[in-house]
Amino acid sequence: MEPPAPPPPPERPAHEDTRGFVRRYIFSTDHKIIGIQYIITGLLMALVGATLATLIRLQLGWPDHAWPLLEKLLPGGYQGGVMLPEFYLAVVTMHGTIMVFFFISYVLVSGFGNYLVPLQVGATDMAFPFLNMLSYWIAFLSAAVLIFSFFVAGGAAAAGWTAYPPLSAIAAAVPGSQMGQSLWLLSMALFIASFTMSGLNIVATVLSVRAPGLSMMRLPLTVWSYFIASILGLLAFPPLTAAAVMLLFDRHLGTSFFLPSGLVVANKVLTNTGGSPLLWQHLFWFLGHPEVYVLILPALGIACDIIPAFTRKPVYGYRMSVYCLWAVGALSMIVWGHHMFVSGMSPFTGEYFSLVTLTITVPMTIFGVNMLASLWGAKLELRSPMLFVCGVIALFGSGGLGGLFLGNATADMQLHDTYFVVGHFHMMIGGVTLLATFAAIYFWFPKMFGRTMNETLGKAHFWLTFAPFFTIFFMQHFLGIQGAPRRYYAFTAYDYLQKTRGQNLVISLSAFLLVSSQFIFIVNFVWSLVRGRVAEANPWRATTLEWTVPSPPPHGNFETVPTVERWAYEYGVRAPGGDFATQDVPAAAVPVTA
Amino acid sequence: MNADTAAVDAVAVREDQLKLGLWMFLATVTMLFAAFTSAYIVRRSGSDWRHVALPSILWLNSLVLAASSVAVEIANVRGTRTAWRSSAAAMVMAFALGIVFLAGQVVAWRQMVSAGVYLPTSPHSSFFFMLTGAHAVHVIAALAVLGWGAVATLSGARDPRAWTSRMSLCRTFWHYLGGVWLFLFALVSLY
């Protein structure tokens, strides 16, 4: 008798990833893996940034207190248990740099941008997958260089996240202006190179590999926001590269681009002549202000895509929101001078920058009203992502109000370099983006990892994040109105600031609560990765294309290229699967509303 | 849709992507040089601005770069007429002229240094060295792209459509950098 034939080998799914571990998870060209790599790197950098914030708040909350334990841990930064002023400057500088460029940019922009854009446009991957991998590893190198700068002679850069010369240009100015500042510049150059590659990829992906039927006006607002933010990045970031090159030349090769004549540092007259420190400010803010929108537009786009899943109705004013994103993007390129009202600019120039800055509030307000109108009349389902989106809207409104004062040259003269500015930008590019990042993580976690995050812990995380965050930065507006200057290490040396001790104490306690509550998130994240409830393909009953594929999506994303039949917000309709239709549901099955 | 049509469509999409990517890259390079230019204009108003004499070899270098651009165009025209040998020869010539241009720029730097003009001598000399250096870095990158086009041409352009696409990228990048050089040369010479 013949032996029975061996069973046929199991068929491989069409998109099974057959690459080895290293190509699959480390040097991967899959946009999803790269997105997750960015997110993990950014979250680790956030831990560093949050630790630095804790050190800042310890100093400001208890300015006269000695911390012997911290001296043991950070012997270079403390003396007699008291923080050294130059160390304080380095801590403030690195906190700002890390949070703006290495946390929010990595997680919200590059991380979620990478993960979501190809999926939401129905593509198998980014337009340039290899370039995408390269951009992540350059970004990783950039972060590594910045972290390494903590350990070089003189310590990390200490000239502020804006790196204004002469402080940043002269090694003898402050210890952090030695090797630390050069590494800071190198790190920024790498960051810009990486971000440019990433932005180029996103624009090319949106323009060239959209699924059939997915016209531009059917794109989800998330994709629109990444598209416009990427264009902004491509156009606004190169000038900082130019500025960084010139600053490196000033620092190491004896040029005088930014160093003026007659500068005396450490009792020595420098030989530099005729340079202009203001030139750096112009070049920096030409990047710096659009950078704000590079961060905040994706936050708003993400909020708009999460809202309808929990209101079960379409977003309000989709077309107008798209036009507003364009208007904000265009205007953001011509408003940089409002960061320099006190630099001695001509009043006419100041008037111009005031006008265009206040003009930007028009599209921003329309966008904000559209978000509010999207909530109007809905029965809100306050799950974790939606709670964070509500926080986004709250901070966008209240933080944006402060912008009206700072955009006005007359008011800004009084408020410039005070805690009013710190409160304002933390609410906007700190808070709006932070809460949107968390909203995105809670919302797309099931898609990324195939498991759902714990809802109770998510809600606790929201309230213990939002309440202290709002307390801290709302109060800082009032510190600013009282004239408290930012970046001052020993504010108690000034009599008029003695009365702010109590406020600083409350702010510090709130900051510790804020940082501590992030452990709830970490526990939830890790626990859910391992033990979270297994997620179905579309747990939120949402409409965009990523929800039409399994969770997590396979390599190559789609078994067959989807054909898009409708816009991204087909909610409140009668459909076989419920009150929604994903973008690929045929028009014959469910009528198309837009 | 049959397999051949799908393959042709995929190639067309790839070509579009590469063109788009190149133009976006050129937009960022434009912004980089725009920033350098605005810095030049601002810094020029400083009281210590002193114009330094520029070496005359820069004129020759400009001609070499222009000749290189012409050679790329000849290569393109000859290739379109399937005259692959002359097309390949023109591409090699274009590449070689690109190298000669870079060598000429180095000679210009050495002549400046021999004349006692260094990077920090004057803001004008600082900008000269920095702008020519930044341009040279981009020329090196463009030479790599030109080499990529030359290899395709030397191999007899087995795939004419892919060759046309490559040549389009080479021509755009190379002529763009020629234009940037002319602008920079005019800036540092005349203003």
pLDDT (0 to 100) of residue A1? 44
Query: A206 near A121, Cβ under 8 Å?
Result: yes
User: Residues in chain B whose beta carbon is closer than 8 A to a beta carbon of chain A?
Assistant: 13, 16-17, 20-21, 24-25, 27-29, 31-32, 34-36, 38-39, 42-43, 46-49, 119-120, 123, 126, 130, 134
pLDDT in tens, A487-512: 998 899 999 999 999 999 999 999 99
- Tell me the angle at which helices A501-531 and A31-61 cross, rounded to the nearest 10 degrees: 150
Is the domain of A446 the same as that of A547? Answer: no
| Cβ count within 10 A of residue A79 | 12
Query: A491 near A422, Cβ under 8 Å?
Result: no
Is the domain of A250 the same as that of A286? Answer: no
Q: Which residues of A are less than 8 Å from B123 in CB distance?
A: 255-257, 274-275
CB contact under 8 A, A275 and B130: no
CB contact under 8 A, A282 and B13: no
pLDDT at A591 over 90: no
Domain total in chain A:
3
Q: Is A20 exposed, middle or buried, given 0-12, 13-18 or 19+ CB atoms closer than 10 A?
A: exposed
Closest approach of chain A CAs to the CA of B85, in angstroms?
33
Q: What is the mean pLDDT of residues B78-82?
A: 91
CB contact under 8 A, B34 and A286: no
Is the domain of A453 the same as that of A569? Answer: no
* DSSP 8-state secondary structure symbol assigned to residue A103: I
Q: Is residue A487 part of a domain?
A: yes
Q: What is the mean pLDDT of residues A411-431?
A: 96
Domain boundary assignment for chain B: 3-190
Reported as a pLDDT band with limits 50, 70 and 90, residue A19 is confident
**Nearest residue of A to residue B45 by CA position?**
A274
pLDDT in tens, A185-211: 999 999 999 999 999 999 999 999 999
What lies within 8 Å, CB to CB, of A20 at 6+ separation is none
Q: Is residue A265 part of a domain?
A: no
Q: Which residues of A are less than 8 Å from B130 in CB distance?
A: 245-246, 249, 255
- Residue written as token pair 């402050």: A174
**Nearest residue of B to residue A282 by CA position?**
B39
SS3 content of chain B, % helix, strand, coil (to 5): 85, 0, 15
**Nearest residue of A to residue B23 by CA position?**
A200
Indicate the range of A9-13, A197-201, B6-10, B42-46 predicted with least confidence. A9-13
Alpha-carbon distance of A555 to A567, in angstroms, equals 25
Q: Is residue A58 part of a domain?
A: yes
Helices vs strands, H then E, count in chain A: 18, 8
Percentage of chain A surpassing pLDDT 70? 97
Q: Nearest Cβ partner of B120 from A208, A234, A253?
A: A253
φ/ψ (deg, to 5) at A443 = -75, -45
Is the domain of A304 the same as that of A227? Answer: no
Q: What is the mean pLDDT of residues A43-56?
A: 97
Quote the domain boundaries for residue A320. 274-531
Tell me which of B13, B29, B30, B126 to substitute to probe the interface with A (most A C-beta atoms closer than 10 Å): B126
CA geometry: angle at A226 spanning A221 and A232, to 5°?
125
CA geometry: angle at B55 spanning B49 and B60, to 5°?
135
| Cβ count within 10 A of residue A75 | 9
Q: Is B177 exposed, middle or buried, given 0-12, 13-18 or 19+ CB atoms closer than 10 A?
A: buried
pLDDT in tens, A446-467: 999 999 999 999 999 999 999 9
Q: Is residue A117 part of a domain?
A: yes
Is the domain of A278 the same as that of A250? Answer: no
pLDDT at A234 over 90: yes
Domain limit, last residue, from A223, A255, A287: A255
CATH of residue A63: 1.20.210.10
Q: Nearest Cβ partner of A257 from B13, B126, B134?
A: B126
Alpha-carbon distance of A132 to A123, in angstroms, equals 15
Q: Which residues of A are less than 8 Å from B21 in CB distance?
A: 127-128, 131, 200, 204
Residue A268's DSSP bridge partners are: A265
**CATH topology assigned to domain B3-190:** Four Helix Bundle (Hemerythrin (Met), subunit A) (1.20.120)
Is the domain of A462 the same as that of A370? Answer: yes
pLDDT in tens, B27-54: 999 999 999 999 999 999 988 899 999 9
Domain limit, last residue, from A531, A562, A582: A531
Q: Nearest Cβ partner of B31 from A238, A246, A254?
A: A238
- Residue written as token pair 């920090």: B120
Domain limit, last residue, from A226, A255, A284: A255
Q: Which residues of B are less than 8 Å from A208 in CB distance?
A: 13, 16-17, 20
Q: How many CA atoms lie within 13 A of B163 on its CB side?
A: 23
Percentage of chain B surpassing pLDDT 90? 77
- Residue written as token pair 């790196």: A163
Q: Nearest Cβ partner of B31 from A127, A235, A253?
A: A235
pTM above 0.80, yes or no: yes
Is the domain of A549 the same as that of A508? Answer: no
Q: What is the mean pLDDT of residues A61-88?
A: 93
Is the domain of A549 the same as that of A439? Answer: no
pLDDT in tens, B109-144: 999 999 999 999 999 999 999 999 999 999 999 999
Is the domain of A353 the same as that of A278? Answer: yes
pLDDT (0 to 100) of residue A376? 94
Alpha-carbon distance of A242 to A238, in angstroms, equals 6
Reported as a pLDDT band with limits 50, 70 and 90, residue B4 is low
Tell me which of A206, A208, A237, A281 to substitute to probe the interface with B (most B C-beta atoms closer than 10 Å): A208
Is the domain of A565 the same as that of A503? Answer: no
User: Residues in chain A whose beta carbon is closer than 8 A to a beta carbon of chain B?
Assistant: 127-128, 131, 196, 200, 203-204, 207-209, 234-239, 241-243, 245-246, 249, 253-257, 261, 273-276, 279, 282-283, 286
Q: Nearest Cβ partner of A203 from B24, B35, B43?
A: B24
CB contact under 8 A, B126 and A256: yes
Q: Is residue A335 part of a domain?
A: yes
Is the domain of A231 the same as that of A293? Answer: no
Q: What is the mean pLDDT of residues A47-63?
A: 96
Reported as a pLDDT band with limits 50, 70 and 90, residue A126 is very high
CB contact under 8 A, B130 and A246: yes
Q: How far is CA A320 from the centre of its chain?
A: 24
pLDDT (0 to 100) of residue A584? 95
CB contact under 8 A, B24 and A204: yes
